A and B are shown apart, each in its own frame.
Chain A
Amino acid sequence: MTIFNAVDKFTMMSGDRVKIKDLLSSRLTECGWRDEVRLLCRSILQEKGAISSFTVEQLVTEVTPRARSLVPDAVKKELLIKIRTIFDENEADDIDPEEA
């Protein structure tokens, strides 16, 4: 089992994944990242929309790296700190289900 798989499953099991996801999406909406990416998609579509062979996959590969870099550092930092605190909390809580 990979690291990611373990974390993914564990956070999904504890319900923290949904919480972090909600926090991230609300932060991204607040800072206008969502609108920026939407505009990016539209401008690319306007450029390449005429080409019939332009697929969604191509759009994804083109936009994703740019969308990543568009995320404000403050949001990224906040998210990482939040994830770490949740991990730490889970570490402390871990003993309880084992005993039960």
Chain B
Amino acid sequence: MPTSAAPVPAVAAQSPTTRKAIANNFRELTKDPKKLDEAANQLYESLLEDAVTGIFIEVHHLRKIGNLSALDGVAEESAHRICDVPNLDIFGVSTAKKAIDCTCPNCDRLVAAARFAPHLEKCMGMGRISSRIASRRLATKEGTSASSNSSYVHSGANAGGTDDEDDVDWSSDKRKKKSTQNSRNNGSKKNNGKTF
């Protein structure tokens, strides 16, 4: 293209006579079909040459700037290659699941990681039902000899922050349980007595 780019303004600026001369030259040429074919081929060849030259300039520019090596990129390290061995994942780590166990800080038991959160909830006595179970367990652990007050203090320190509400729940729960059990027993006894 650089060879053909220069004459363009010159042609445009040429006087009408030279324009006419060029047109005449061309018209003479078109009279001969053989020459016209040749001209068409030559024009095609020159255009193709331009296209190739464009690519050369592009590649040359990239090379001189250093982008060509950047486009090639750095060879991948073998450590980061994708592992294609059965029973291993792409990082080369075994796909077999290994169970992860956690020790419960409250009762020192091994609990599967997936079950840890529900266990902790029950063990530490959060939530409504769990608090009852936990408090019952604590009560049995402490033994019947300990008074309700001292056992509460101990449980509070152990669980790390059972609140007052829990305390109320704990004590009233025990009483309620007793009363309900009594009433149930009484009722059943009564019913039994009635039915039988």
Contact = CB atoms under 8 A, between A and B. Distances in A.
A38 B48 CA distance: 15
Given A24-B47, A45-B68, A64-B52, A7 B59 contact: no
Contact of B55 (A7, A9, A37, A83): A37
B35 A3 contact: yes
Contact of A28 (B8, B44, B51): B51
Query: Is the contact region of chain B dominated by helix, strand, or loop, or is it mixed?
Result: helix
Contacts, number: 117
Interface stretch (B16-24, B83-91, B185-193): B16-24
Contacts of B59: 38, 41-42, 45, 59
Nearest to A11: B43
A76 B44 CA distance: 8
Contacts of A21: 47, 50
A10 B43 contact: no
Nearest to B64: A56
B22 A98 contact: no
Contacts of B8: 12
Nearest to B3: A8
Contacts of B23: 10, 13, 94, 97-98
Contacts of A94: 23, 26-27
B4 interface: yes
A4 B42 contact: yes
Interface of B: 4, 7-8, 11-12, 19-20, 22-23, 25-27, 29-30, 35-36, 38-44, 46-56, 58-60, 63, 68, 72
13 contacts: A3-B29, A3-B38, A3-B39, A3-B42, A9-B22, A13-B19, A21-B50, A24-B48, A45-B68, A59-B56, A67-B52, A76-B44, A91-B27
